Amino acid sequence: MTKIPGPPSFDGLKRRIATHRAEGTPRKNDRFVRQTYCLNLLDARAKAREWFDEYPKAAYWTEVESWRQLEGDQIEFTMRRLPSAD
């Protein structure tokens, strides 16, 4: 009888992500301005829209760099943009 393997364990990946976040790795030669927020879903969407309205993507390379859903309706996300449109 052949045993069918179960789904892979993500424990190692989870540890690496936690370590990376805890270290706060410096970004060398990275000129981007970043701001991290923790808001409910509707407020998070509104805040992201504010960034895109104030700092247009074409000029500032604005983007949602990372996001994750927390307990309940909370979203933790990081916005990123260049310091100027030059």
Q: How many separate domains does the chain show?
A: 1
- The reply to whether 8 falls in a domain is no
- The reply to whether 24 falls in a domain is no
- The reply to whether 6 falls in a domain is no
- The reply to whether 78 falls in a domain is yes
At 11-36, the pLDDT tens digits run 888 888 888 777 765 665 678 999 99
- The reply to whether 19 falls in a domain is no
- Would you say residue 41 has pLDDT above 90? yes
> 11: left (phi > 0), else alpha (psi -120 to 50), else beta?
alpha
Over residues 33-40, the mean pLDDT reads 96
Q: 74 is in which domain, residue-wise?
A: 32-86
Q: How confident is the model at residue 9 (pLDDT cuts 50, 70, 90)?
A: confident
CB 40 within 8 A of CB 73: yes
